[in-house]
Structure 1
């Protein structure tokens, strides 16, 4: 649901980059898990969330000073999937894309290894059928279709030819 960017101030607050609008829709306190990835998390409790232009500022339980907040820097924030609001048919959560097959219009290219969130665009890290990894931005010029039911992403062939 987000990434902890940095300590804010001296009282243990953390600047958080929110992925999507989830943080704006939840009530606190909120049980979350933080870690470098979903396999290395530890529980945490968000006590308060404030919104500023460009990001959110969160107060975590037992994080009371700048040094403690700085230890959380670059950690991802996860919540239980059951807490996430249901999405419209054409919308998706990043974690739903992981493991999906990626095709050009006519052949299997590989599988989504991970999603990355960058300021200008999200990107899919693809492990190709040949073992090579490539990043594909989540933009209209690259992505033709995402089919959640078939677990398949179709990428514009002309775009792939430029990347590979």
Structure 2
């Protein structure tokens, strides 16, 4: 039920600024001595990396746009050469930073599939409209992604993103409808 460019994996939304951005990857290590970076892809669309011309480096007070000067594959990971990063030490300073693109560059998703950032912050309600909590994250899991809920009493619960439990996602109404069964919301 989540997709891509999953932050639908392009995963999360970067908030703030003139337009929301979508996380497509996270810098995990320098590559070589000329400032290239290895990227953990958060995108379900691997072809996006070869076409990338500009990306935002997030997790800074003001995310900055940088040009993508080159792309290769390092095993299963994209390796990017980005403007302004000339040495291994400069690349190392970017470790852990997210790479983001404007929301309009996110791939369209099939019906009933959502970007993670669209789900975070939604109210979680039972079918009768009783508030259960809020969606605070989406975690990938082998069988289905898990909605991470902060419950009204402060506890955290994980709910599989399957129709048996998640009956509706109403983005306009800012809510998800959860059908709790005994034990589902227990710690």
- Which bin holds the TM-score, normalised by the shorter protein? 0.7 to 0.9
Secondary structure of 1:157's counterpart equals: coil
CA contact (8 A) 1:123 1:135 kept: no
TM-score by length of 1: 0.74
Distance 1:40 1:120, change over 3 A: farther
Q: Is the 8 A contact 1:14 1:59 kept in 2?
A: yes
Count of aligned pairs: 161
Unaligned residue ranges in structure 1 (runs of 5+): none
What are structure 2's unaligned runs of at least 5 residues? Answer: 1-23
Alignment counterpart, residue 92 of structure 2, candidates 43, 66, 70 = 70
Larger relative contact order (CA 8 Å, sep ≥ 6): 2
Structure 1 residue 79 corresponds to structure 2 residue 101 = yes
**TM-score, L = length of structure 2:** 0.67
Higher mean displacement: 56-65 or 150-159: 150-159
After superposing the two structures, state which structure 1 stretch, 71-80 or 17-26, moved more. 17-26
Distance 1:81 1:133, change over 3 A: farther
Partner of 1:46: 68
Work out the CA distance in 2 between the residues paired with 1:159 and 1:64. 56
* 2:25 is the counterpart of 1:2: yes
Q: Give the 3 Å change call, closer, same or farther, for CA 156–46 of structure 1 in structure 2.
A: farther
Residue 21 of structure 2 is matched in structure 1 by none
Task: Report the CA distance between 1:152 and its aligned residue.
Answer: 2.7
CA distance in 2, matches of 1:155, 1:145: 7
Q: Would you tell me which structure has more helix in proportion to its own residues?
A: 1
